[in-house]
Amino acid sequence: MKYRRLGNTGLIVSEVGLGTMQFGKGMNVGNLDQKATTEMIRFALDQGINFIDTADVYSQGESEKQVGEAIKDVREDLVLATKVRLPMGENFNHSGAHRVNIMRECEASLRRLQTDYIDLYQIHGWDSNTPLEETLRTLDDLVRQGKVRYIGLSNYLAWQAATALGLQEREHLEKFVTAQMYYSLVGRGLEHEWMSFAEYHKLGLLIWSPLAGGFLTGKYSREHPPAENTRFSDAGQFVPFDIDTGFEIVEALDRVGKRHNASPARTALAWVLSRQAVSSVLIAARSREHLEDNIRAVDLQLTQMDLRQLDGVSDPGVPYPGWMVLQLDQAEDPRPKVLHPERFENGGPWDDLRFKKTELEH
């Protein structure tokens, strides 16, 4: 196993962390019982994983309960993360990032996890019905009370995260140190603003669904679509992407993987691990065999040719204002070439489009 810092903290986490949505029977994803959960977690720990991520909403608390039971003898050796914000009952106040719900759900998570503190407590998503200051002040209180060590966000837009960090700075509140976000070869939207934002603010990215709900495992193709009783068919296309492009990416993963005697899944995970600002990539499996293969991604070093091939087939393009930022900062400004020559080893991240147009005309 290899390890990285959790964001800009001194805490060390494994490059791959164990996701837990498959534990419990309330979400139709995995449906693993306590025995299978304990076996899977113990196997992960034996492989060097020290980071486990769960959420109160996973199977309506069942995942947390099973995780808590499985780790109760080794709790102090682990970095344990959970989340709050999504509905935990029919009562409308049992949802959201307001003070009452956060306080209640934190206590409930502590009980289910059989621990007296949470290493990383994350807001599961933006709450447009609660003042942001209320959310941030409550999280700060939990840290001051010793119930939470660090705080993180998940599924925020970049402007929402920037606003939160600005308020935390201004009000001297505990700052977010991580952002748990979706990112994969079929879902590279995080690159448009979030990657550079996270790097600038030293937020550690925790990547969820790096295999796009199992699509990038290599099990599926145009000739062999998802069959019944697979994770992808059970959960549906949980993350949206163009299926035809997805098949092209799977074919590229197969070609690159064969050069390293690696599965498409392991290759896809290695690609995510190669990206900037990533603290840990969350993996989840229903079998020990698949989990072991995923873990081995930390030892797969993709070449520049591999990366160019995978980048090319999955390139989503650069939306405005991203292309204008690159045009002005990387193509027209000569200073980056002097200050950061490594960025331009392969021609640079952006070409001056005006000169391209002139070349075409002549």
List, by residue number, the catalytic residues. Answer: 58
Using CA atoms, how far residue 293 sits from 42, 45, 299, in Å, is 16, 15, 11
Using CA atoms, how far residue 266 sits from 30, 257, 281, in Å, is 20, 8, 12
CA 21, 25, 28, 31 torsion: positive or negative?
A: positive
Both tokens of 131, joined, read 């003042």
Cα–Cα distance for residue pair 264/111, rounded to 1 Å: 39
Give Cα 250 distance to the centre of its chain. 20
Using CA atoms, how far residue 116 sits from 37, 99, 102, 110, 152, in Å, is 21, 19, 16, 6, 19
Strands 3-5 and 12-14: antiparallel
